[in-house]
Amino acid sequence: MSASETRLVHPQRVRPFEKTQAATPTLVRLLVGRDLSPTRDEYDRVCTALWDGDAAMDALMDWMYQYGPGEARGLFMKALEEGVGSIPDCPEPLRVFFKTYDSPPVWMNQQLLDEGCRFIHGTGTTATIVLRDLALMAGYLLSGFNQSLVMTGALNKSTSRRVAETGKWWMDCTETGGLHRFGQGFKSTMHVRLVHALVRRGLAARPEWDSAKWGLPLNQIDMVATYLGFSVVMLGGLKKMGVPVTPRESKAVMHLWSYACWLMGVDEKWLVKTESEGAVLLNHTFMTQSRPDWTTRELAQALAKEPLERGYSSFQSVRRKLAYHQHLSVTQYFMGDEKMAQLGLPENVTSWYPLLTTPPRFINYTTRRLLPGLRAAQVKRGREAQHAALASMFGDTEHAVIKPGKDHPAHI
């Protein structure tokens, strides 16, 4: 079967079109302005993209292997850190790749990026809790998304380190100015993008990777679902945890992650401007995901136990156990009993932490929004709390973004 013929066949993980046509609740339809169910054209567009990778980086990867992967990777990192002008007789494929990203696209709005960063700073650890206990944990229910994670051991081995590495990337991206060309967020994103391309290439060549079932590893739709987790899912979770979000703040956060994930290799055609557009697209990505399976339980249980590996400067044992139960209570709050069982998590858990903290959190955020001086202090303290949370996950190890070992598909 040719490549063009393969693209006409949807991977087996995709749900039949007829099963995606569930009725949309009236309130949801009013909020998002349309039915959540895809049209036939939308369905085919999403399913076809399961065969799409990161065209620009995948093409550069082809050149790297022709040139010599070790040396080419060194040139890539030099161009990333210092610019292509720092490389005498810079190879043309490398120059062409960075030409796209050395200057931001015309749609990028720096003011919105800065506003999105400040909003995220002000949410403190509430944002990190939502991303961990809702976005990441709920993602494990979609087993089509899990295959590359399990095959690379990315989140079921040394889970604390892997979650910390993702947290480091998130912190870099949400630093004010972090996504400037030579900002740490820009460089971290391009580094992760390179690793993803190496993993995509490595897994696709493995005999155990079932492309007929799963499509391409780390494909566009799985990337889109991840992008929407950092934006749409985070915003929805913050609201449920008592953090009020204005329309302007929502727009800023959506814009921040649209730009960050465009740098990560998400095609511009998949970027959305509003939460409601994002909610519709996120629902469309769900139809490409298989039901929960053993990968769901393995990854979820590893993530649930991650707090027991954290490093604290004092009362470590007590604080580890408290964090473990706190995170489980948040997952229960968002997921409910049925999904907790599907995740293989303890079923005798209550939502004690969100129920205790949400009302005072709402009052606190609402009050501080009205007083600029208090708001500035909240932004400062919130970011400090995010740094402290990241440090507890790294412990005494180096704070770095993805350093593949020799047995990792991205090691060259």
Q: Are 203 and 148 in contact (CB under 8 A)?
A: yes
pLDDT for residue 369: 81
Phi, psi torsion values for 62, nearest 5 degrees: -55, -45
Segments of the chain with pLDDT less than 70 = 1-8, 153-158, 395-412
By CB atoms closer than 10 A (0-12, 13-18, 19+), residue 391 is: middle
pLDDT for residue 404: 58
Angle formed by the axes of helices 294-305 and 143-152, to 10°?
60
The per-residue pLDDT for range 68-114, each reduced to its tens digit, is: 999 999 999 999 999 999 999 999 999 999 999 999 999 999 999 99
pLDDT for residue 257: 98
For residue 218, give Cα distances in angstroms to 7, 53, 267: 16, 7, 13
The per-residue pLDDT for range 356-403, each reduced to its tens digit, is: 999 999 999 999 888 878 889 999 999 999 999 988 887 656 656 666
Q: DSSP 3-state assignment of 103?
A: coil
Distance CA 269, CA 292 (A): 29
Q: Are 269 and 220 in contact (CB under 8 A)?
A: no
pLDDT for residue 2: 47
pLDDT for residue 7: 58
Q: How many CB atoms lie within 10 A of CB 100?
A: 10
pLDDT for residue 75: 97
pLDDT for residue 161: 79
The token pair at 303 is: 């993530």
pLDDT for residue 4: 47
The per-residue pLDDT for range 273-282, each reduced to its tens digit, is: 999 999 999 9
By CB atoms closer than 10 A (0-12, 13-18, 19+), residue 79 is: buried
